[in-house]
Amino acid sequence: MRTLYFSLVVLLLLSACGENSTESGVIKIKFSHVVAESTPKGIGAKRFKELVEQRLAGKVIVEVYPNSQLYDDDKVMEALLLGDVQIAAPSLAKFGKYTKKLQLFDLPFIFNDIEAVDRFQRGPVGKKLLASMEDSGYLGLAYWHNGMKQFSANKPLHLPEDAKGVKFRIQQSDVLEEQFKAIGAIPEKLAFAEVYNALQTGVVDGAENPWSNIYSKKFHEVQKYIIESNHGVLDYLLVTNNSFWDSLPKDIRAELDKIIDEVTLEVNKLSLDLAMGDRQKIIDFGDETQRTELIILTKEELVKWREIMQPIWGKFEKEIGKDVIEAALAANNS
Ligand code: LMR
C-alpha cells in the first residue's frame, strides 16, 4: 500500500513538473472523451483545441481523442492522475469514487429542466462543487451540458410498473442503480462504448440517454421505444489534474481559463438546439419498419414516475448534503 502511495506521489510530481511538455517545450494537452464529435461535448472539445491553438500558438497544443479511442470514463480518471491525459469530461454520474456530492445530478426529477440545471451550476453552491474532488487530486474546471435523459426500451413504458423486470444499462452510479431498483427494473453498469452491442444482443433491454447520445450512437436503431421522460440530467464536469493545472505558467493558465469560460458558454448555449435537432432526426429516421416509436408521457403518467423515484433522494441526502439538494430545488423556481 505504501509503495503504491509512493509511486502515485512520484507520478503526480512528474506530471506536475511538465512531463507532458514536448521536446520543444510546447505544452501538450490530451483531451480524452467517450462520445461522438457531433455531440455537445465533442463540439466543445474541438472548439477548445481550436481556440487554444489560435491564442496560445507555439505554447500549447491540444490533442482530442473522442469515441473512447483512448480511455473509457473509469480509466480516464486514473490516466489524469498519471499524467497520460490532461483534460477529460466524464458525465457527472461517474465521480462517485471521488466525491459523493456530485451524486446530486443523478437524483431523478430533482431539476425541472436544463435551464434549472444551468442556474444551479452557475450559482454559489454549484460553483463550490467544482472543487469537491481536490483531496483526490482533481480539479473541476467547468460544467458542460448534454441534456435531459430519456428512457428507451424494447417494450412500451407508460407507467413505472411497465418497467418491472426490464434490464437497463446504467452509468457507474449508485443513485442510478437505486433509481431503477425503485421501479423493479434490473440495472446493469456498463461502459458507454459497450451500450450499442449490449442493446443489440439483448444483454440489456433498455437504457437512459440524452437525445444527442441516442442519435449519435444509433441507439434508436436497436430500441423499439423511446420514452420522453426528461427524468434526469446528463451533464459533464470538465476535469483536470490539480497539480498539472497548478504547474502551468500563470499567463498560460489564465488564458486557458478564459478559453474554457468562452467554450462553456458556447456548448451550453448550443446543447438544447442540438438535442431538439437530434430528437427530430430520430422521429424522421428510416421507414415505418425501422422507426423507433416515441412515447410522450402525459402529465399524470409523469407524476407516477416521479412519485416512485423521488423517495430515493432521502437515501443520498446525507452524502450529498441537505443544503446542496435545497439549492438545486431552489434553482427550479428562479
Ligand atoms: C454514458 O456513459 O452514458 C455517458 O456518460 C456518456 C457521455 O459521456 O455522454
Q: Is 170 in the pocket of ligand 1 (CB under 6 A)?
A: no
- Which residue owns the Cα nearest ligand 1 atom 2? 192
260 & 285 share domain: no
- Which residue owns the Cα nearest ligand 1 atom 6? 192
- The minimum-distance atom of ligand 1 relative to the CA of 171 is 2
258 & 205 share domain: no
Amino acid 195: pLDDT: 98
Query: What is the distance in A from the centroid of ligand 1 to the CA of 218?
Result: 14
Q: Is the pLDDT of residue 57 over 60?
A: yes
* Residues of the domain holding 39: 2-146+236-274
190 & 77 share domain: no
Across the range 173-202, mean pLDDT stands at: 98
Write out the three cell numbers for 242.
490539480
193 & 323 share domain: yes
Amino acid 74: pLDDT: 87
Amino acid 41: pLDDT: 98
State pLDDT tens for residues 122-133.
999 999 999 999
218 & 248 share domain: no
Q: Is the pLDDT of residue 10 over 70?
A: no
Amino acid 24: pLDDT: 77
Amino acid 161: pLDDT: 98
Query: What is the distance in A from the centroid of ligand 1 to the CA of 190?
Result: 10
Query: What is the distance in A from the centroid of ligand 1 to the CA of 22?
Result: 31
319 & 207 share domain: yes
213 & 101 share domain: no
Across the range 75-86, mean pLDDT stands at: 97
CATH value at residue 203: 3.40.190.170
Residues near 234 by beta carbon (within 8 Å), at least 6 away in sequence: 91, 92, 93, 146, 147, 148, 149, 209, 210, 213
Amino acid 7: pLDDT: 45
Q: Look up the pTM and report it.
A: 0.93
281 & 178 share domain: yes
69 & 140 share domain: yes
The count of domains in the chain is 2
- The minimum-distance atom of ligand 1 relative to the CA of 39 is 9
Across the range 111-125, mean pLDDT stands at: 98
186 & 294 share domain: yes
123 & 158 share domain: no
Percent of the chain with pLDDT over 70: 93
135 & 67 share domain: yes
44 DSSP β-pair partners: none
Q: Is 146 in the pocket of ligand 1 (CB under 6 A)?
A: yes
Relative to beta strand 186-189, strand 206-210 is: unpaired
